[in-house]
Amino acid sequence: MGPRASPLLPLLLALLGHPDPGRAEGCDLQPVTAEPPITLSYATSTVPWGCVSSSSLGTEHEVHILNVEWSKASAFPLKVSVVPRAGGCTRQAVLVLLCARCSATVTSPCSDLLVHTDAHLSPGTTMTRPELPMATSEGQLLAWARRTYGGITSYSKLRDPRWVQLRLGEDANKHPECIPKEHFNAMPHLETEVFFHGMKGCSRGDAQSAGAAHIVRLQAESSFPVAEVNLSLSCPEGAMSNQILILQSQANLTWSLSVNNCHIQFLVSGNYKIAHISSPLLPGEHLPDTEQGLVAKAFEKNYSVIASYSIIPTSARVSLEIQEHGEVPASSSPCPAEAVRRASLPHTLLFMLQPWKCTDETMEIVIARSHLEPIKDVVNITLRDISCQAEKNATHFMLKTPLSHCGTSLEGRGHANNEVRWGAGQGSAPIPSDVAFQCNIPRELFLRLFPTATFEVPQTELEVNKEAFVQASMRWEDHPADLQLKECWLVALGQEPVLLVQGGEARGAGVAVLEGPPSSRGRKVWRFRFTYTVPEGGRVPFSATLKCKAGLQNNTIFEKVLEVTVKDSWQPPNNRGLGLAAVLGITFGAFLIGALLTAGLWYIYSHTRPISKLQPVSSTAPASESSSTNHSIGSTQSTPCSTSSMA
Ligand SMILES: *[C@@H]1O[C@H](CO)[C@@H](O)[C@H](O)[C@H]1NC(C)=O
Ligand SMILES: *[C@@H]1O[C@H](CO)[C@@H](O)[C@H](O)[C@H]1NC(C)=O
Ligand SMILES: *[C@@H]1O[C@H](CO)[C@@H](O)[C@H](O)[C@H]1NC(C)=O
Ligand SMILES: *[C@@H]1O[C@H](CO)[C@@H](O)[C@H](O)[C@H]1NC(C)=O
Ligand SMILES: *[C@@H]1O[C@H](CO)[C@@H](O)[C@H](O)[C@H]1NC(C)=O
Ligand SMILES: *[C@@H]1O[C@H](CO)[C@@H](O)[C@H](O)[C@H]1NC(C)=O
């Protein structure tokens, strides 16, 4: 009679075995054994094994030895270029290239370069080609070189190189003997780009979507600080599929992305910009620096296949080619022309800038004219309804409209849809004239202060002893009726906070709750008026804050703070107080932060940027439909074949 396991045991083990199951559960990264879905390579000067020395200084030649190993057959011929030092090809150089069963091209402006190699040199390489001695070990090879030439300038063992650049020149300060060391920094003699073959992948068991993610992590390299990474990304011709590229690095790094033919979303840590167009530097998103965290991030964005996960050293140049065969088949792509059109410059540009910003009642678009330089002669910008034309000044196009105007549709939850159209001046090349977009409507409480009961033009100035009108509003599509205005306070420095409204009822003296417009489309609006008075003998503060909370029956609370300047018309205007730009402060649930950090908008809101303060909020609040910095190049978040068309 064996011991019988308690029926509770599996449950207990399941609980103990997953201290933090997260959303990465069900996806166990394994080495990719089949043909990898990407080709990834990066530049480096660190070789697995190598040395430099001054032993060839007194001899007739400088001697460089490259010993190439492959962990996988390379489809590319190896390119070796030998560059002379600044003074030109002064002394004869010898290259010993050990690369059995490999085809290589050796190029150099020094015509007297002597090459010993066992590689198959491709035609076009016009070097002398003395045979290589039979050397069975590294030691024998180095000994042969010493015997034959009297010294060794550099020795490098390379793994999976795509190309190698060898810079000639010797340094008297180097070691007298070339004694190879592990993980050797061969700077400034050698730079190479090597293939990374260690990628892993997995797919979530309960895969709900066919979206595939490629994750590249840069490991901090302490020996050479890299401030900027040039990443070149290329995709197969005509490919259109649901993929995301997640790039994670230390936060102080700038990514310069050069994107070729790709219809892909990306998520980047650090700062980034798009090479080749006059791109502003955009702040990325904070990304987790663990394997599990990054996989969970991909799942959160609804990409349930981790097509590739790679960790490489931080490098100034990384190249990534997405392969055709690794592609998740697009569910249907009846409109390849659309894909090509969408990948055009205006689309790339607009989706990078994301110049639209919505609140629960307005849509605003601000585009710096300098960012439109790559698109020549843009003379006017409109929305779907072409009578809604952007205003322009010397530097910007600006358009602000209520959500109820200009052809904006609110069909989707949490976002508004419209199109940016533009007219180009005469004589310019025809350009696609419209780009459909979705503008995220943050699920947060909005507070607005008005000088009159018409509630028309909001302001951020509160006048002492004068009626002010406050509107709080929010979209809550699920059950707008559940949403209540819990309380509103006026807080000024050095004074007791004043309770204005509580539980939807007026509390302070001179406060009156007003009838708001009826709820529509899941939006709820509350209004009240009050008069701000300064207590007897009190000083008029420069600024004050209006603080409101709305919430559901349960404990889900949305809080917002509106900072206003205080104007006292009885006293001469106080320049210091009035000159301060009003600052909008917002307190809101953690889940909304992403929505507000939309990278493409950073420059627009730089002077009215919301200040976020975290407030404990029910963790069961819905994960927002935050678009965050999840940008897409050349694609909309809508279906690939959207209804937009050439005008
Ligand atoms: C970036 O930050 C890391 C630490 O996170 C630091 O070691 C490195 O020197 C910094 N690099 C630059 C270019 O500031
Ligand atoms: C992911 O998919 C689910 C279910 O289809 C959807 O509710 C959610 O909004 C999607 N999330 C994102 C970030 O697209
Ligand atoms: C990165 O790319 C930019 C422009 O494409 C170029 O000017 C710069 O030299 C490149 N940096 C490196 C390290 O290759
Ligand atoms: C044009 O308008 C934008 C947005 O309102 C503003 O930031 C910018 O300073 C204005 N430029 C000029 C030259 O007035
Ligand atoms: C926008 O510019 C184009 C080209 O100059 C012009 O034909 C069109 O009438 C303009 N649209 C409006 C609404 O002014
Ligand atoms: C509160 O109620 C809303 C819907 O009315 C729901 O979405 C949310 O999960 C609830 N929160 C808690 C803590 O029960």
pLDDT digits (tens, 9 = 90+) for 209-268: 567 889 999 988 766 778 899 999 888 765 556 788 999 998 888 999 888 777 677 889
| CA angle at 355 for the pair 631 and 559, rounded to the nearest 5° | 85
Question: pLDDT at position 547, please?
Answer: 95
- pLDDT score of 238: 58
The rounded distance, in Å, linking the Cα atoms of 625 and 632 is 15
* Tokens found for residue 338: 């659309």
The finding on whether 203 has its CB within 6 A of some atom of ligand 5 is: no
Q: Which residues line ligand 2 (CB under 6 A)?
A: 301-302, 625
Q: Residue 310 has which token pair?
A: 């790679």
Ligand 1 pocket test: pick from 252, 255, 271, 289 the residue with the most ligand atoms within 8 Å of its Cβ.
252
Q: Of 627, 473, 482, 475, which is closest to residue 556 (Cα–Cα)?
A: 482
| Spatial distance between the Cα atoms of 378 and 350, rounded to a whole number of angstroms | 13
Left, alpha or beta for 238 (phi > 0: left; psi -120 to 50: alpha)? left
pLDDT band at residue 537 under the 50/70/90 scheme? confident
Mean pLDDT, range 343-370, rounded to an integer = 78
Rounded-to-integer distance, Cα 486 and Cα 23, Å:
34
Which protein residue's CA is at the shortest distance from atom 14 of ligand 1?
Answer: 252
Confidence of residue 350 (pLDDT cuts 50, 70, 90): confident
Q: What is the pLDDT of residue 374?
A: 58
Residues counted in the chain: 647
* Residue 641 CB contacts under 8 Å (≥ 6 apart), including other chains: 334, 335, 338
Residue nearest to atom 14 of ligand 5 (CA): 380
- Apex CA 513: angle with CA 507 and CA 519, to 5°? 135
Residue 476 CA to ligand 6 center (angstroms) comes to 12
Q: Could you tell me where in the chain the CATH 2.60.40.3210 domains are found?
A: 341-440
Candidates 3.30.70.1060, 2.30.30.90, 2.40.100.10, 2.60.40.3210; CATH matching 341-440: 2.60.40.3210
Atom 14 of ligand 6 has which residue's CA nearest to it? 554
Phi, psi of 123 (to 5 degrees): -60, 145
Report CA 344 to chain centroid distance, whole Å.
20
Three-state secondary-structure class, residue 316: coil
Residue 324 has pLDDT above 80, yes or no: no
Report whether residue 225 contacts ligand 1, using a CB cutoff of 6 Å. Answer: yes
- Of all ligands present, the nearest one to the C-alpha of 244 is 2
pLDDT for 102 equals: 82
pLDDT at 377: 65
Q: Which of 101-115, 169-183, 370-384, 407-421 has the lowest mean pLDDT?
A: 370-384
- What is the pLDDT, as a whole number, of residue 368? 82
- pLDDT tens string 62-120: 999 999 998 887 777 899 999 998 778 888 899 999 887 788 889 888 888 888 888 88
Average of pLDDT values for 116-138?
A: 73
Q: Specify the pLDDT at position 25.
A: 60
Region 594-599 average pLDDT? 32
- Please classify residue 109 by burial: count the beta carbons closer than 10 Å to its beta carbon, then call 0-12 exposed, 13-18 middle and 19+ buried: exposed
pLDDT at 19 over 60: no
Q: How far is the CA of 393 from the centre of ligand 4 (A)?
A: 6
Task: Please indicate whether residue 123 or residue 386 has the higher confidence score (pLDDT).
Answer: 386
Distance from the Cα of residue 73 to its chain's centroid:
33
Q: Is the CB of 484 under 6 A from ligand 5?
A: no
Q: Among 396, 604, 606, 609, say which to mutate for ligand 4: greatest number of ligand atoms within 8 Å of CB.
A: 396
Kindly state the average pLDDT of the residues 531-560.
86
Ligand 6 atom 1: the closest Cα is on which residue? 554
Q: Is the CB of 433 under 6 A from ligand 5?
A: no
- Within the chain, all domains assigned CATH 2.60.40.4100 are found at 446-575
Instruction: Out of 120-124, 436-440, 458-462, pick the least confident.
Output: 120-124
For the cut 60, the answer to whether the pLDDT of residue 464 exceeds it is yes
Q: What is the DSSP string of 395-412?
A: SEEEEEEETTSTT-B--S
For 131-187, the DSSP string reads: PPP---SHHHHHHHHHHHHS--SEEEEEESEEEEEEE----TTS-SS---EEEEE-T
The predicted model gives 43-56 an average pLDDT of 90
Report residue 489 as tokens.
């306070």
Q: Give the H or E element holding residue 532.
A: none
Q: Which ligand 5 atom is nearest residue 422's CA?
A: 1
- Nearest in space to 226 (alpha carbons), one of 192, 191, 250, 207: 250
In this predicted structure, what is the pLDDT of residue 317? 93
527 vs 622, which has greater pLDDT? 527
pLDDT of 126: 60
Whether residue 581 is predicted with pLDDT greater than 60 in this model: the reply is no
The confidence band for 1, taking pLDDT boundaries of 50, 70 and 90, is very low
Q: How far is the CA of 558 from the centre of ligand 2 (A)?
A: 22
225 C-alpha to center of ligand 1: Å? Answer: 7
Counting residues of the chain whose pLDDT is more than 70, the rounded percentage is 73
pLDDT at 207: 52
Query: What is the distance between the alpha carbons of residues 199 and 233, in angstroms, rounded to a whole number?
Result: 17
d(Cα 29, Cα 295) in Å, to the nearest integer? 9
Q: What single letter denotes the amino acid at residue 139?
A: G
Assess whether pLDDT exceeds 80 at residue 434: no
Nearest residue to 394 via CA among 367, 424, 369, 420: 369
User: pLDDT (tens digit, 9 = 90+) per residue, 631-643?
Assistant: 433 332 333 333 3
- Ligand with minimal distance to 43 CA: 3
Band of pLDDT at residue 528, cut at 50, 70 and 90: very high
How does strand 305-313 pair with strand 200-203?
antiparallel
Average pLDDT score over residue span 521-537: 87
Instruction: Answer whether residue 370 shows pLDDT above 70.
Output: yes
Q: pLDDT tens digits, residue range 275-308?
A: 776 667 878 888 998 999 999 998 888 888 888 9
CA nearest to 612, candidates 361, 444, 449 = 444
Contact 66, 159 (CB under 8 A): no
Residue nearest to atom 3 of ligand 6 (CA): 552
C-alpha to C-alpha distances, 134 to 144, 175, 615, nearest whole angstrom: 9, 27, 73
With b for 16 or more beta-carbon neighbours within 10 A and e for fewer, the 416-430 pattern comes to bbbbbbbebeeeeee
| Ligand located closest to 304 CA | 2
Mean pLDDT of the chain: 75
Q: What is the rounded distance in angstroms from the CA atom of residue 274 to the CA atom of residue 203?
A: 30
Q: Cα 324 to the chain's mean position, in Å?
A: 24
**Separation of alpha carbons 488 and 529, rounded Å:** 12
Give distance in angstroms: CA of 444 to centre of ligand 4.
28
Task: List, chain by chain if needed, residues with CB within 6 Å of any ligand 4 atom.
Answer: 366, 393-396, 398
Residue with tokens 């509106």: 562
Edge-to-edge strand ranges of the sheet holding 391-392: 356-358, 362-368, 396-402, 391-392
Task: Return the ligand number nearest the Cα of 438.
Answer: 2
Query: For residue 283, what pLDDT is reported?
Result: 81
pLDDT at 174: 77
Ligand 6 atom, smallest distance to 620 CA: 9
The residue with tokens 């190879």 is 180
Options 2.60.40.4100, 3.30.365.10, 3.20.20.10, 3.30.413.10; which CATH number does 446-575 get? 2.60.40.4100
Q: What is the pLDDT of residue 440?
A: 85
Q: 328 pLDDT band (50/70/90 cuts)? A: very low
- Longest CA pairwise span in the chain (Å): 101
Report yes or no: 332 and 243 within 8 Å, Cβ to Cβ: no
| Res 138 pLDDT > 60 | yes
Binning pLDDT at 50, 70 and 90, where does residue 353 land? confident
What is the arithmetic mean of pLDDT over 524-535? 90
What tokens were used for 114?
A: 């002597």
pLDDT at 597 over 80: no
Kindly state the helix (H) or strand (E) to which residue 578 belongs, with its residue range.
helix 575-579
Nearest atom (ligand 6) to Cα of 555: 13
